[in-house]
Amino acid sequence: MAKIKKGFRIEKDSLGEVQVPKKALYGAQTQRAVENFPISGIKMDFPFTNSFVDSLGLIKDAASRTNRKLGLLGVKKASAISKASKEVWQSRHNSEFPLDVFQTGSGTSSNMNANEVIANLASRFSGIEVDPNDDVNMSQSSNDVIPTAIKISAYKDLTEKLYPALDKLIKEIEKKEGSLKGIVKTGRTHLMDAMPLDISQEFSAWSSQLKNVKKTLVFLEKRLLEMPLGGTAVGTGINAHPRFAKNFAKELSLLIGGKCKATSSDNFFHELSSQDTAVQVSGELKNLAVALMKISNDLRWMNSGPLAGLSEIELKALQPGSSIMPGKVNPVIPEAVAMASADVIGNDVTITIAAQSGNFQLNVMLPVIAYNLLKSMALLTGSMNVLADKTIKSFKVNKKSLEKVLNKNPILVTALNPLIGYKKAAAIAKKAYSEDRPIIEVAIEETDLSEAKLKKILDPIKLTKGGIN
């Protein structure tokens, strides 16, 4: 054995001795993983959420309580493990989780990281030796712990962080929708002038799209709460009590609280070998990213100008927009949200590819699935909060600009189709456009319809109601 480095201690595992930092709560297996995977510098203690490490603590706490009630673990040890686990799920020891995301695909290193930290703490609390494998990991395997941690952390970040941000954004859009009702603008298809619509109708599309996303995510909650723990190594439940899985789910529900109703999976082989739930959730997060990108790009187009663009709305000036062009102000929040949305779409591709690596009884890309799934939730949560607070709340509508364009929109002639036919209407539209005249002026000249009737038929507000004139 090499000379012990200053500030280190000797720990042993099945491969031999390892030098571990003296102050570290983790042990030999964690240290080996630290040395084996200096790949990205991205730690499992993610900078954007504590939920994954917290979930490992919740799992160990619920498992120790279950094993105690089943008579498999002594009261003193179980109590000490629960106490130590609670400190982990309360995020009090996040610095003790130094492992790189890109590690062994089962996440065994992260599971052992949690086992070692909790065992060390529990030993201190109880004054007796608590073993990371035999005690903390009792009735478990990394192969069912990590899939369970993915589900718990995704559920917590979804319900505690993403939903509130999504609800806030919907609320702000609907408030804007209500305050702007009755303001008519030119619709656009193919980025070209189209029939008019009420601007509130345009915003209602945004809120409806977001509401549909939430419906799907709420539907997927049930799958996130179907726990793989109890399948142990390959799904057979070897070394776990027959009642362990169901009792664990009950204990977990009590620890998480709120509306959490965790259940035991009805097929552990499915849960260990597949990550289809993560794929489904990620797919809907991608859908949300697409919605946010659409809203952001609409806002950018509507704000374009102020002279050479659409200039339909004015976004609040948040910062100077150019280092060389004085007075320029850019739509910085929609741009940032669009970038974050692009990243989420990329994360979904990673999760899809990773989920394909379910070879036989185990998926071997679990840590990167956890990382990208939770990162997507964090990006979307932050994006929706800033979009609601710094854009939707504060932008103003340029009514004069809307009215100016609307009155000269040759597409209004569409409303005359039932009366004069498509070809005649097209000729009127072409003339109005070429002569830069209001459509009603040309229609008076080219049809037998009275001015009063044309005004009634071509009234932009009436045209937003649909139907046949």
Instruction: Say which of 190, 207, 282, 376 is annotated catalytic.
Output: 190
Q: Please name which of 67, 36, 319, 277 lies closest in space to residue 158, comparing C-alpha atoms.
A: 277
* Residue 263 to residue 132: CA distance in whole angstroms: 26
Peptide bond into 306 cis (omega under 30): yes
Catalytic, 270? Answer: no
181 token code pair: 């009702």
Q: How far apart, in whole angstroms, are the C-alpha atoms of residue 127 and residue 148? A: 30
d(CA 436, CA 296): 32
Question: In the numeric block, which tokens belong to residue 416?
Answer: 């005359």
C-alpha 265: how far from chain center: 24
User: Strand, helix or coil at 393?
Assistant: coil
CA geometry: angle at 391 spanning 390 and 395, to 5°? Answer: 120
Known catalytic membership, residue 322: yes
**Contact (CB, 8 A) for 224 and 155:** yes
Within 10 angstroms of residue 208's Cβ, the number of other Cβ atoms is 13
9 forms beta bridges with: 20
Active-site option among 322, 394, 401, 434: 322
What span, in angstroms and rounded, lies between the C-alpha atoms of 311 and 195?
Answer: 18
Alpha-carbon distance of 180 to 466, in angstroms, equals 19
Question: What are the catalytic residues?
Answer: 190, 322
